[in-house]
Amino acid sequence: MFTNTDINFEALKRKAYNGRWATLEDGIIPLTAADPDFRMSEEIEKGIIEYIKDGYLSYGPFSGIPEFKKSVAKHFNVEKKGSFTPDNVLAVNSAAQGMFLIAKYVLQPGDEAIIFDPVDFLFKKTVDAVGGTIRLCPVDSKTGDIDFERLVSLISPKTKLISICNPHNPVGRVYSKEVLKKISEIAAAHDLWVMSDEIWSDIVYDNIEFNTYSSVSEEAKRKSFTVFGFSKSFGIAGLRIGAVLCNDQELLDDFTEKSNFNSTIEGVSTLSQIAASVAIEKAKPWFKDFLTHLQHNRDLAYAMLNNSGILAPNHPEATFVIFPKIQNGLSSDAFAQHVLQEGKVAIVPGSERWFGKGAEGHVRICFSTSHEILKEGLHRIINSF
């Protein structure tokens, strides 16, 4: 499994958008958007087919079908130290939508939100979309370490939200229980909301322990939302399925009401929810093999880049992206453009647009592909200079 022969390149060229195979000229290797090159597991495919066999695709409960809510709660409780009930889960049409809805619920125009720098662009985009003001808290671009003194200094009377990315994209850091508890203490002391994006929380290497944010303390359960999705772990981005979790049922009920998930204005495809439920309940053996493959790819990418003299890599504890520092003096955009033109490899520049000011001087390389494609892509990058 997970070799070149397991990749349907013709299907990718028809279907893999978002800066990937379907959007690039032939001959270019995309190591860009964080989306696997491999097909979804057969269990998910069979689950979708089985669900539609009777010919009915009727309305489901607006907040999510029982199978979905139950499987997500169980997944967090068993794998991530959570304490959620099925009612604590709201189905949303992607982790990204969940982030937007939380920002909309928590922030009024002019309210401030603290986000990490660097971090995935969606954190900034969702705050901007609701009229909030961004305050950037630096994290180490190699280790993901948080500057807690700076974090506290950023808090003002206008601050309403701290948004965390755990595991961190693009650095790949898994934040420990102790770090998360410190964030919860700071948030509680200043009566702030916390949003924890945990879409990468399945893809953790070296048996590192993962703790969902709300599990680390009683303070963490207060005024906090957790975001989750299925596009990374199970390769079903096109089904647009995610979840918002919250231990405070009254809070989640109010959030559900104000986000319009109490009528046909909102609500998620039942087919997508079935696919996600099947992924959790039946596709974990497939996922474990996928995770093993990804860890081998991480090790390959680290070794090749570490010896390149071109890029100095970090060592991701999680995710399937690596975030090396440019060694030859080029800007992030110039480096990515050079690699595209001379090496025929597409990568994501560490520019402010994608990850914030703290990302400059880096590039992000996705390694959720075959060993063969990754090796060829990295060779091209290194040999293009």
281-331 confidence digits (pLDDT tens): 999 999 999 999 999 999 999 999 999 999 999 999 999 999 999 999 999
Residue whose tokens read 């996705």: 366
Written as six digits, the tokens of 92 are 């949303």
Give this prediction's pTM: 0.96
What amino acid occupies position 117?
Answer: D
Which helix (DSSP H) or strand (DSSP E) does residue 162 occupy?
strand 159-165
Between CA 197 and CA 200 the distance in angstroms is 8
Written as six digits, the tokens of 60 are 């489901």
> What distances in angstroms separate CA 208 from CA 44, 284, 297, 299, 316, one per listed residue?
27, 18, 17, 16, 11
By residue count, the chain amounts to 385
Between CA 101 and CA 299 the distance in angstroms is 37
CB 70 within 8 A of CB 88: no
Closest CA to 270 of 56, 74, 21: 56
> Exposed, middle or buried, 71 (CB in 10 Å: 0-12/13-18/19+)?
buried
pLDDT score of 1 = 83
pLDDT score of 48 = 97
Backbone angles phi, psi at 304, to 5 degrees: -65, -45
> Exposed, middle or buried, 1 (CB in 10 Å: 0-12/13-18/19+)?
exposed
Could you say which residues of the chain have pLDDT below 50?
none
Between CA 43 and CA 77 the distance in angstroms is 22
